[in-house]
Amino acid sequence: AQSVTQLGSHVSVSEGALVLLRCNYSSSVPPYLFWYVQYPNQGLQLLLKYTSAATLVKGINGFEAEFKKSETSFHLTKPSAHMSDAAEYFCAVNWGNTPLVFGKGTRLSVIA
């Protein structure tokens, strides 16, 4: 079955530290991958998406993600965490024949 795994339901970093949120997907190479962010009691907002144009994708708010086919991964990074980055982050994959499949999410806390 097609699945998306986000390692770590909760990640805590200090302000100014590197943010790394992990996402791995199953099965064959998927056409499209996404990262969404959700702030409390709000909907999901697109951070970035991979559509096969370039393996390193830059998104909003200084985030970027790298598609690694050999590792079936699409990890999200940001060089320096800001307090406003505290939110929940979801990885999602489109295999082309069904609606997006989401990971269970990773809650990011940023410590001052």
Partner 1 sequence: DGGITQSPKYLFRKEGQNVTLSCEQNLNHDAMYWYRQDPGQGLRLIYYSQIVNDFQKGDIAEGYSVSREKKESFPLTVTSAQKNPTAFYLCASSTRTSGPTNTGELFFGEGSRLTVL
Query: Which of 1/112 has CB closer to partner 1?
Result: 1
Burial of 66 (0-12, 13-18, 19+ CB in 10 A): middle
Site for partner 1 in 29-68 (CB under 8 A): 31-32, 34, 36, 41-46, 49, 51
Instruction: Spell out the residues 6+ positions from residue 82 whose beta carbon is closer than 8 angstroms to its own.
Output: 15, 110
Give yes or no for a contact between 65 and 20, defined as CB atoms under 8 angstroms apart.
Answer: no
Q: Does 90 bind partner 1 (CB under 8 A)?
A: yes
The residue ranges that bind partner 1 (CB under 8 A) are 9, 31-32, 34, 36, 41-46, 49, 51, 90, 92, 94, 96-100, 102-105
